[in-house]
Amino acid sequence: MDSIPEIERCKTGIDILDNRILKGGLPRGSVTLVSGSSGVGKTTMCSQFLFNGAKKYDENGLLFTLTESVSQLKKYMGQFKFYDEKLVEKGKVQILDMRAIYRQLGMNSDKDTPKDTNAILRIINSIIGEYNIRRIIVDSVSAMAFRLVDKNQVRDLIFRFEGIIVDRDCTCLLTSEEASGTRNYSEFNVEFICDGIFFLRERELGNTLTRTLQVIKMRGTDHLRNEHELRIDSSGITLTERTF
Ligand SMILES: Nc1ncnc2c1ncn2[C@@H]1O[C@H](COP(=O)(O)OP(=O)(O)OP(=O)(O)O)[C@@H](O)[C@H]1O
Ligand SMILES: [Mg+2]
């Protein structure tokens, strides 16, 4: 009998996450929701994934920011060792403000219509092709969704976005605020159409807050399901095994 072929992986460059938790890295072509409360490290983790991709694995990356301006994001991420302005200058890491794209499309109203959604997806698709993008971040899907009039459109947008990611063989992280007071990982239940979920949270241990990461699901691979401690320092995010 033929052996089952191994799926292709996309390494985040974060050691314990790739080698222990995900047993080799994210499945290539997957869309993962990075869910967690404010300040828990979502943008840092996604930026690290993007810069590691360009630097260590020669994979171009694209980050759509909706929650922070490009200059703010560069200023904050520029504090970390993984950040490399040269990669940005060379176009190997592109950081784009979604609001600028809305303006370019002449979408000045607060709310998008389905016609606008088609235009957004067309632009995303053309940027991926033009710059040979392999890794994509949307930070955040909650902010993107906020502009849509009908919340069913959010799922439709993510579903069609995922189609582009699969067609283009990109690997994608979407950040989302967890829906407070519910057992949902995102406000619009987009977790059901994502392949994976990283759940980041803060635990009160003694008199300090400790960040943790837990992989809730990852279609196509075995993975650990326990919480790992997540630390942020000048190197960015590091994970350690710890019993909670
Ligand atoms: N150089 C650094 N060293 C240690 N910790 C840092 C450093 N820079 C930022 N942090 C920590 O990272 C946090 C911000 O992380 P990040 O912006 O990735 O969170 P987030 O989940 O994206 O937040 P939000 O939901 O507000 O967008 C800060 O609140 C701070 O605690
Ligand atoms: Mg953020």
Residue 221 near residue 29, CB atoms below 8 Å: no
Q: Quick one: DSSP state of residue 109?
A: S
In this prediction, residues 229-243 reach a mean pLDDT of: 95
The per-residue pLDDT for range 33-67, each reduced to its tens digit, is 999 999 999 999 999 999 999 999 999 999 999 98
Neighbours of ion ligand 2 (CB under 5 A): 42-43
Q: Which ligand is nearest to the CA of 47?
A: 1
Per-residue pLDDT at 98: 85
Best of 14, 37, 38, 43 for a ligand 1 pocket test (most atoms within 8 Å of beta carbon): 43
Ligand 1 in contact with 79 (CB < 6 A)? Answer: yes
Distance 175 CA to ligand 2 centre (A): 8
Q: Whose CA is nearest to atom 31 of ligand 1?
A: 39
Distance of alpha carbon 178 from alpha carbon 37, whole angstroms: 6
Q: Which ligand is nearest to the CA of 35?
A: 1
Look at 142 and 73; give whichever has higher pLDDT.
Answer: 73
Look at 130 and 150; give whichever has higher pLDDT.
Answer: 130
Per-residue pLDDT at 181: 64
Q: Whose CA is nearest to atom 10 of ligand 1?
A: 232
The per-residue pLDDT for range 99-131, each reduced to its tens digit, is 888 787 777 666 667 677 888 889 899 999 999
pLDDT exceeds cutoff 60 at 237: yes
Distance 86 CA to ligand 2 centre (A): 23
Ligand 1 in contact with 232 (CB < 6 A)? Answer: yes
- ∠ CA 103-109-114, rounded to 5°: 90
Residue 34 near residue 214, CB atoms below 8 Å: no
Per-residue pLDDT at 200: 96
Distance of alpha carbon 27 from alpha carbon 204, whole angstroms: 32
Residue 84 CA, chain-centre distance (Å), reads: 19
Per-residue pLDDT at 192: 82
Q: Which ligand is nearest to the CA of 76?
A: 1
SS (H, E, C) 153-216: HHHHHHHHHHHHHHHHCCEEEEEECCCCCCCCCCCCCHHHHCCEEEEEEEEEECCEEEEEEEEE
The per-residue pLDDT for range 151-207, each reduced to its tens digit, is 788 888 888 998 999 999 999 999 998 766 676 888 777 888 899 999 999 999 889
Q: Which atom of ligand 1 is nearest to the CA of 76?
A: 8
Distance of alpha carbon 48 from alpha carbon 77, whole angstroms: 9
Ligand 1 in contact with 43 (CB < 6 A)? Answer: yes
Distance of alpha carbon 178 from alpha carbon 34, whole angstroms: 9
In this prediction, residues 137-146 reach a mean pLDDT of: 84
